[in-house]
Amino acid sequence: MSTGIDDPPTRKGKPVIADALNLATSLATTIGRGTLGLSVGNLGPRPEKRLALYDFEACPFCRKAREALSMLDLEADIYPCPKGGPQFRREVNKRGGRAMFPYLVDPNTGREMYESDDIVRYLFETYGDGTVPTLLRLGPLTDIGSTLAGIPRAGLGGFYRNAKQPKRPLELYSFEASPYCRLVRERLSSLELPYILRNVAKGSPSRAAFVKRSGKMQVPFLIDPNTKTEMFESKDINAYLDSEYAE
């Protein structure tokens, strides 16, 4: 059983250098965020219904919200909103009046909100012990740190690529700090593919059920109910998403 953030790539050949560089820059982003999104903290009440988050992967403010979801072991319906995306950006504008991200919807309390700091505070007060981790409550310093950490990824996941929409949302087992999971989330974001985010950070009570479901503790793990496809390995997942949904 793997207890790391993912298993190493297994394919060999000419693309290895490009793959290594891709992983290295993703790892740099992970290192830049320290321990945020790596482990589960003190948990509070569990929501009956999944939260919804409208975001896009290259957004430094959205990263803060996803880190909070991961640390609080919360599942969420993710609606990617890359620049130029034809669908979910319009939905956010209709719901809140502005195409600004992240945008959180909590059907359990009826709350909907912009502003990453407000979202993070709300999540820890509602589903944690009320204490926001220091690295997430430093205001502008937190924003600068998240922005700098994202520079190695050069905006990946921030711009729309033509894609067809699935009839049913995909499912992704992930946690925010994993550099391998980031590669998949970027692809889902750029293709504007909605998915159910199932967080399984270190210490997550959900890990046992995940291992029973998948057979081992390795992320990312993608489930596509539209094609009955289930798979590990970030490179294989991204190749699948391109072949199945990119146009």
DSSP state of 46: P
SS3 209: helix
Q: Which CATH superfamily does the domain covering 16-245 fall into?
A: Glutaredoxin (3.40.30.10)
What does the pLDDT look like over 25-43, one tens digit per residue? 999 999 999 999 999 999 9
Amino acid at 183: L
Neighbours of 86 (CB within 10 A): 11
pLDDT value for 16: 80
Q: What is the mean pLDDT of residues 215-236?
A: 97
What does the pLDDT look like over 150-171, one tens digit per residue? 999 999 999 999 999 999 999 9
Contact (Cβ atoms closer than 8 angstroms) between residue 129 and residue 74: no
Phi, psi torsion values for 116, nearest 5 degrees: -60, -40
Q: What is the mean pLDDT of residues 197-206?
A: 97
User: CA-CA-CA-CA torsion for 87, 91, 92, 94, nearest 10 degrees?
Assistant: 140
pLDDT value for 8: 46
Tokens read off for 64: 């803060």
CA distance to 43, 48, 132, 144, 176, per residue, from 128 (Å): 4, 15, 9, 25, 17
Tokens read off for 7: 């298993």
Q: Is the pLDDT of residue 216 over 60?
A: yes
pLDDT value for 14: 57
Strand residues in 167-243 grouped as ranges (E): 170-174, 195-199, 221-224, 229-231
Mean of pLDDT over the chain: 94
SS3 34: coil
CA distance to 41, 42, 72, per residue, from 204 (Å): 9, 11, 9
pLDDT value for 17: 83
What does the pLDDT look like over 41-98, one tens digit per residue? 999 999 999 999 999 999 999 999 999 999 999 999 999 999 999 999 999 999 999 9
Q: Quickly state the pLDDT bin for 2 (edges 50, 70, 90).
A: very low
How is 70-129 classified by DSSP, letter by letter? HHTT--EEEEE--BT-SSHHHHHHHHHSS--S-EEEETTTTEEE--HHHHHHHHHHHHB-
Q: Quickly state the pLDDT bin for 18 (edges 50, 70, 90).
A: confident
244 vs 232: CA distance, rounded Å:
16
What does the pLDDT look like over 101-131, one tens digit per residue? 999 999 999 999 999 999 999 999 999 999 9
Q: Which among 197, 201, 179 is positioned nearest to 39, based on CA atoms?
A: 201
Contact (Cβ atoms closer than 8 angstroms) between residue 234 and residue 6: yes
Tokens read off for 218: 């390795």
Threshold 0.85, pTM exceeds: yes
